[in-house]
Structure 1
Amino acid sequence: MAYLPLNANAWGMLGHRIVGQVAEAHLSKKALKGVRGILGSESLAMASNWGDFIKSDTAYNYLYNWHFVNLPGGLDKQGVFNFLDTDHDANVYNKVIEMTVILKNHESTAAQKLLAMRMLVHMVGDLNQPMHTARKEDLGGNKVYVTWFGEKSNLHRVWDEALIGYQQLSYTEYAAAINHPSKEQLTAWKSNSLKDFVYGSYEACNKIYAETKPEAKLSYKYNYDFAGLLDTQLLKGGICLANILNEIYS
């Protein structure tokens, strides 16, 4: 059996929709009106996968690097912040900021705003998927080969799709199940900067690397050990997206 192909889709379709669904529940009235002014009847959940669907069109190949940021191992919080400040290449952190600027600009065209909104929703999901703040040398875990319930896979794919799929919930069911942040969590996350969310994802990534060895046989125990972290990152993704949209339309 061949290894599964390299994968660069954060969270898969379900995960992105969960992030969008959670975010929509935390939007201000002004933000919800602003989003609907761009997306119409399309919800954040349904808009969230456009960034992956469009990969089928070679005209959008320039978006490839927008889905991740390669962070070296061994950085502390300030080290991550410094890296983000000095890495001016196209990456998910820089492009989230760029899309925010486009959405705030009253001179942006409707087409520019539509692309910016769709990519913003998608990229905030990407940014909070830990293996999208991972190592360049193994392509964000794509080259860390493991098995998932006996089938050959890789660490990136496990975190994109396998763990979420294992929960056997629709995106609306999943969002409803996890969208109960504590008062302390909500206060902390609403005051987070975008860099803070990147660092949180990087911390989660370091934990995953430390506790998932190459060729590991992953199954029930891995789900037991990491389902909580998975839920937290999905929830944080939704809060992060709501923060950005509420600020744009404040």
Structure 2
Amino acid sequence: MKYLLKFVLMTLALLMIVQFSYAWGTTGHRVVAEIAQRNLTKKAQRNLYKLMGKGPLAFWANWPDFIKSDTTDKWKSTSPWHYVDVQGHISEPDFIQALKDISHKSLYSQIPAMEKQLADKSLPVEQRKIALMFLVHFIGDLEQPLHVGRPDDAGGNKITEYWFGKKTNLHSIWDSELIDFQKWSYTEYATVLNIDDKNQIKAIQGGSLEDWFYQSHQLADEVYDRTPANSRLSYDYNYIFINKLNQQLLYGGLRLAKVLNEILG
């Protein structure tokens, strides 16, 4: 645990030098993790503490992005694990088939892979810890619509946009610009979004992994359609998408809670 903590702190320091386009940015992933932790069963929470120690789940939520700064290339092969690229505006059966046709390790394959490793108590503890950190992050990635984006523009990374006059790209707007615009800390944001209605929670947590992917795919289609390249985006764009943004963060947190409750509970 001491070595793992030291490694995370070192990679945090590297982020001061190297920047990437991260899913949800650090704040968004922490919001998802915080909502999830607030919706864990008591048993799942106890088992989480046994595995990771008594700290907020949000502390670990960005580790899979931080390791992209590792200059040894130890984690280089994990980069494609954060997304899937599928053509837009296709039916759910065609979309699911496209997911299954992805030949390399991707977000679609690695979510169940990390679930399996986390659940396997015969594995070394460090491997299960790493699986948990990836899983927390990947459920967040799943709910960022541009991580279920299109191959010809790298999930919006190649689409130039202007956010309040600053040149950026579509992917980055959904990673961080929209979230940072709300001016909440991750704990404040989680409090604003977290709900107690059991029927709503049950509905959000329902469905299969493929259903969750397709819902993000449909939102990605809407984002692409309503955000032409080189758009000048500001208050009106936030007004159009704020509810969908909040929806995705909440979905990520509640669905992550479901997964962790099933494995650790």
| Partner deviation per Cα, 1:5-45 (whole Å, 9 max, x = no partner) | 99541000000000000001111112112211221123211
Q: 1:219 aligns with which of 234, 255, 260?
A: 234
CA offset at residue 192 of structure 1?
Answer: 2.1
CA contact (8 A) 2:88 2:217 kept: no
CA offset at residue 87 of structure 1?
Answer: 2.1
The aligned counterpart of 2:10 is: none
The aligned counterpart of 1:192 is: 207
The aligned counterpart of 1:50 is: 63
Aligned length: 246
C-alpha separation in 1, matches of 2:138 and 2:21: 12
Q: 1:101 aligns with which of 98, 106, 116?
A: 116
CA offset at residue 142 of structure 1?
Answer: 0.6
C-alpha separation in 2, matches of 1:30 and 1:87: 36
Q: Which residue type is aligned with residue 131 of structure 1?
A: L
C-alpha separation in 2, matches of 1:52 and 1:104: 23
- Worse-matched range after superposition: 79-88 or 214-223: 79-88
Q: 2:92 aligns with which of 77, 87, 104?
A: 77
> How do residues 3-152 of structure 1 correspond to structure 2 at under 5 angstroms?
7-57=20-70, 58-152=73-167
- Worse-matched range after superposition: 193-202 or 12-21: 193-202
Gaps of 5+ in 1: none
1:154 corresponds to 2:147: no
CA contact (8 A) 2:117 2:123 kept: yes
The normalised TM-score by structure 1 is 0.94
> Percent sequence identity over matched residues?
39
C-alpha separation in 2, matches of 1:193 and 1:35: 24
- Worse-matched range after superposition: 145-154 or 80-89: 80-89
CA offset at residue 188 of structure 1?
Answer: 1.4
CA offset at residue 227 of structure 1?
Answer: 0.6
CA contact (8 A) 2:115 2:263 kept: yes
C-alpha separation in 1, matches of 2:96 and 2:258: 19
CA offset at residue 184 of structure 1?
Answer: 4.4
| Residues 215, 182 of structure 1: alpha-carbon distance in 2 compared, 3 angstrom cutoff | farther
Q: Which residue type is aligned with residue 224 of structure 2?
A: Y
| Partner deviation per Cα, 1:165-196 (whole Å, 9 max, x = no partner) | 00011000011011126554322122222111
| Alignment RMSD | 1.6
The normalised TM-score by structure 2 is 0.89
Gaps of 5+ in 2: 1-17
C-alpha separation in 2, matches of 1:9 and 1:124: 14
C-alpha separation in 1, matches of 2:86 and 2:197: 30
CA offset at residue 60 of structure 1?
Answer: 1.0
1:171 corresponds to 2:186: yes
| Residues 181, 219 of structure 1: alpha-carbon distance in 2 compared, 3 angstrom cutoff | farther
Q: Which residue type is aligned with residue 21 of structure 1?
A: E
CA offset at residue 51 of structure 1?
Answer: 0.7
| Residues 9, 94 of structure 1: alpha-carbon distance in 2 compared, 3 angstrom cutoff | same
C-alpha separation in 2, matches of 1:217 and 1:135: 22
CA contact (8 A) 1:197 1:240 kept: no
